[in-house]
Amino acid sequence: MTTKQDTKQADLQKDTVEINSAQPLTTDYGIKVNNTDNWLRAIMRFDHERIPERVVHARGTAAFGTFKLHKSLSDLTTAGVLIDTSRETPVFVRFSTVQGSKGSADTVRDVRGFAVKMYTSEGNWDIVGNNIPVFFIQDAMKFPDVIHAVKPEPQTEVPQAQTAHNNFWDFMYLHTESTHMQQWAMSDRAIPRSFRMMQGFGVNTFSLVNANGKRHFVKFIWTPELGVHSLVWDEALKIGGQDPDFHRKDLMEAIDNGVYPKWKFGIQVVPEEKQDKFAFDILDATKVWPEDQVPIQYVGEMELNRNVDEFFTQTEQVAFCTSHIVPGIDFTDDPLLQGRNFSYFDTQLSRLGPNWEELPINRPVCPFMNMNRDGAMRHRITKGNVNYWPNRFQANPPAPLSQGGFISYPATQQGIKDRQVSDKFKEHFNQAQLFYNSLSDIEKLHVSKAYSFELDHCDDPTVYKRMTERLSYIDLPLAQKVAKNVGGDTPKKPAKDNHGQKAKGLSQLEFQPSTPTIASRRIAILIADGFDHSAFSAMKDALQKQKAFVFPIGTHRQPVTAETGEKVTPAHHLPGMRSTLFDATFVPGGKHIESLSKNGIAKHWITESFAHLKAVGSVNEAVDFIHLQINLDKVKVASIDGSKVQDSYGVVTAFGSPDELMKVQNAGESAKGFAERFVCRVSKHRCWERELEGLVDGVPA
Ligand code: HDD
């Protein structure tokens, strides 16, 4: 039942003030300022505007939203947020990269953070996860080493926001438990198209405890409604320079335009008595629980629907802690989690100070009261004459379990306490093989290219030679391909036989939207004076009806004039944008092709879109223009049966009147009309065949 205590998103806006008002300017202590040009005081305040950035995950962006549960988990837990299906729990979610500093680019190859703060009626619950379900290390003790190795090298502070350097790969070779996650980091998962198109994983094993005191082990998973999609590497590299805020802006744009990103919330559950029944240890964060062995049950949904009001006070000051759990949820002996429970709280003390939990973005929105006092920057005023328990007034008493008090699960402990690692923890390659084997051909190709790029940037032969040898523990052809590219010694036989097994849920291509969609896809329409207005506007309407974000890109931003005299004001002019920032491009016919044919940027736009495997559409006079750039003569041109429309590797072309071309009735595989075929191609995200067949870099898989 919804109770009065239910938390609301509005509760998070309590301290928000509006600067865009006629209220006069004052000092921090309230006196009105009469002159801003000859007043020194502000400088001193300005000098102190910075706080330390996060030691990892410094670069990030965030949004508000809600979590809704569809299926009560009362058989597993007493946590209100996981049993009450009538609630809408407010959430704040911060996405991030790991390696780079606060001002680094969004699209670098890296793991993405996926941290969720749920402001539940029983207190804050943080799931501080990543978009990759495993971690580089098994024990938190090694965190400083892995982070020192991945961060810029100490003597030069180079490179920024990249793993492509000697120290990282030196550590990767010497620290074999990293091998599994390393495979994920070299896969397309590490270059997401959007934060809205990636999964989130709690990674660590937590537990759920029900009303009878029974414990189950659990993992938490977020799966995006839009499917899991990635950039291609060359595009990611270029966007890093062309629009370093690409992911930030992408999230804001979707929310501002009402296409709210959504994720299904899933759990994997292992009953306590089955914990030893797996080939891996369920408390080892370098291992997944393969879905075939532990299925995911989807039980809820999260939507992000409000952008932040101010970056610093919300996105920068938000502080997550794995130790923030609510009654009904508990930790486990997962050694990575145990260390994290210490580290996050500790880090907030140095970043934000002892009263960090009082900051508006961090404090709970349910009632809270305790005996904590003082410390720098305390701002809550607690009235009353006791600050200790027990006290003569019985003020602020601890709550027993029956009143919602938190108790730790009374776990049975046996055996010897020692600094040793179990045999299952010592096994480091089976799941690395499982992951690689489960990828599709295009994903495997990308893994080999990623390793090749990374190791090519290592100039110490010890590092790249050892690493290519290490790859022969995973897959011999992979190791051979990478050795050839980076100058390692070609291994002749596998260092470890590949077990040949595959598992469900590891290849990201398995995660496609249940109904194909182009919602929130950025589509460019290139125009110059003389374009065909009817084709332009019919296509724009058709795409917008499907909730795509459409951007006319002109040779200039002053209105561009159509053949028939209509004027369109472009969103941008060609030199101001790049094809990399769009998911697909359409070029209408008309006389404007004459000037586009002489425009180097427009021509490059088309060849680059082709190279980045994107859908390209054109009609009438624009068809030849497209074919010339892409040199489709060398590519087979396929007509769709019974239609005048041609679709060659996602280059969709047709001749005819806009009325007949631009209808979208069926955008599925069997689509025969021009616009519906184009929409179908955009909804598939990329045309992988181009790369697999060597049309892009001349090297077939
Ligand atoms: Fe961590 C930040 C995710 C292991 C120590 N971590 C941080 C953030 C995410 C993760 C998403 C950013 C939170 C935000 O947006 O503010 N970290 C993970 C995952 C891990 C993991 C999924 C493995 C399962 N982390 C990990 C270990 C340690 C840390 C083993 C230390 C022993 N992590 C930190 C930190 C950070 C952090 C240093 C930096 C800023 C912060 O905490 O608030 O304490």
In tens, the pLDDT along 59-82 reads 999 999 999 999 999 999 999 999
Which of 34, 38, 48, 57 is labelled catalytic? 57
Q: What distance in Å separates the CA atoms of residue 125 and residue 12, rounded to the nearest whole number? A: 15
Residue at 329 is within a domain: yes
Contact 582, 573 (CB under 8 A): no
Q: What distance in Å separates the CA atoms of residue 401 and residue 382, rounded to the nearest whole number? A: 26
| pLDDT tens-place string over residues 641-651 | 667 899 999 99
340 lines ligand 1 (CB under 6 A): yes
Atom number in ligand 1 closest to CA 57: 12
Residue at 562 is within a domain: yes
Any idea what the Cα angle at residue 20 is, between residues 14 and 25, rounded to 5°? 95
Task: State the pLDDT at residue 3.
Answer: 43
Do residues 175 and 210 share a domain? yes
Phi, psi of 418 (to 5 degrees): -155, 160
Task: State the pLDDT at residue 530.
Answer: 98
Task: State the pLDDT at residue 44.
Answer: 81
Q: How far is the CA of 73 from the centre of ligand 1 (A)?
A: 28
Do residues 185 and 322 share a domain? yes
Spell out the long-range contacts of 627-631 with Cβ–Cβ below 8 A and sequence spacing 24 or more: 627/651, 627/653, 628/597, 629/603, 630/606
Do residues 73 and 123 share a domain? yes
315 lines ligand 1 (CB under 6 A): no
Task: State the pLDDT at residue 644.
Answer: 83
Task: State the pLDDT at residue 149.
Answer: 98
Do residues 487 and 595 share a domain? no
321 lines ligand 1 (CB under 6 A): no
Instruction: List the CATH number of the domain containing 449.
Output: 1.20.1370.20
Q: Is 196 helix (H, G, I), strand (E, B) or coil?
A: helix
Q: Is 322 helix (H, G, I), strand (E, B) or coil?
A: coil
Mutation test residue for ligand 1: of 340, 341, 349, the one with most atoms within 8 Å of CB:
340
Task: State the pLDDT at residue 213.
Answer: 95
Phi, psi of 174 (to 5 degrees): -75, -15
Tokens representing 259 are: 């296409």
Task: State the pLDDT at residue 637.
Answer: 58
Domain stop point among 340, 358, 376: 358
Instruction: List the CATH number of the domain containing 148.
Output: 2.40.180.10
Distances (CA, A) of 341 to 127, 318, 332, 390, 478: 12, 17, 11, 28, 38
Do residues 454 and 601 share a domain? no
Question: Number of helices (H) and strands (E), helices first, in the chain?
Answer: 19, 19
549 lines ligand 1 (CB under 6 A): no
| pLDDT tens-place string over residues 633-686 | 655 556 676 678 999 999 999 999 988 899 888 878 888 899 999 999 999 999
Residue at 419 is within a domain: no
Residue at 369 is within a domain: no
**Nearest Cα to 647, choosing from 658, 655, 636, 656?**
636
| pLDDT tens-place string over residues 317-329 | 999 999 999 999 9
577 lines ligand 1 (CB under 6 A): no
Sign of the torsion angle spanned by Cα atoms 509, 514, 518, 519: negative
Q: How far is the CA of 89 from the centre of ligand 1 (A)?
A: 23
Overall average pLDDT of the 136-157 stretch = 97
Spell out the long-range contacts of 417-422 with Cβ–Cβ below 8 A and sequence spacing 24 or more: 421/138, 422/281
Count other C-beta atoms under 10 Å from residue 124's C-beta: 22
Overall average pLDDT of the 592-598 stretch = 97
Q: Which of 1-10, 388-397, 435-444 comes out lowest in average pLDDT?
A: 1-10
Residue at 500 is within a domain: yes
Active site residue 604: no
Domain stop point among 457, 487, 510: 510
| pLDDT tens-place string over residues 619-635 | 999 999 999 999 766 55
pLDDT of 172 strictly over 90: yes
Q: What burial class does residue 372 get, using C-beta atoms within 10 Å of its C-beta: 0-12 exposed, 13-18 middle, 19+ buried?
A: middle
Q: Is 638 helix (H, G, I), strand (E, B) or coil?
A: coil
Overall average pLDDT of the 573-602 stretch = 98
Q: How far is the CA of 331 from the centre of ligand 1 (A)?
A: 16
Work out the mean pLDDT of the chain and round it to a whole number.
95
| Ligand 1 atom 29: residue of nearest CA | 340
203 lines ligand 1 (CB under 6 A): yes
Torsion of CA 389, 391, 396, 400, to 10 degrees: 70
Which domain range does residue 429 map to?
A: 425-510
| Ligand 1 atom 3: residue of nearest CA | 129
Task: State the pLDDT at residue 415.
Answer: 86
Which of 48, 70, 124, 130 is labelled catalytic? 130
Beta bridge partners of 307: 63
Task: State the pLDDT at residue 2.
Answer: 39
Do residues 346 and 452 share a domain? no
| pLDDT tens-place string over residues 435-475 | 999 999 999 999 999 999 999 999 999 999 999 999 999 99
Contact 268, 203 (CB under 8 A): no
336 lines ligand 1 (CB under 6 A): yes
Bridging pattern class, strands 215-224 and 262-271: antiparallel
Do residues 452 and 552 share a domain? no
Domain stop point among 325, 341, 358: 358
Atom number in ligand 1 closest to CA 114: 11
Task: State the pLDDT at residue 632.
Answer: 66
Q: How far is the CA of 263 from the centre of ligand 1 (A)?
A: 21
Atom number in ligand 1 closest to CA 202: 22
Active site residue 57: yes
Do residues 216 and 109 share a domain? yes
pLDDT of 45 strictly over 90: no
User: Is 119 a known ligand-binding residue?
Assistant: no
Atom number in ligand 1 closest to CA 54: 40
Q: What distance in Å separates the CA atoms of residue 560 and residue 32, rounded to the nearest whole number? A: 48
Ramachandran category for residue 631: left, alpha or beta (phi over 0 → left; psi -120 to 50 → alpha): left
Q: Which of 5-14, 260-269, 334-343 comes out lowest in average pLDDT?
A: 5-14
Overall average pLDDT of the 394-419 stretch = 91
Residue at 669 is within a domain: yes
Do residues 288 and 431 share a domain? no
Task: State the pLDDT at residue 13.
Answer: 87
Tokens representing 304 are: 């992000």
224 Cβ partners below 8 Å, 6+ apart?
Answer: 196, 197, 198, 199, 261, 262, 263, 511
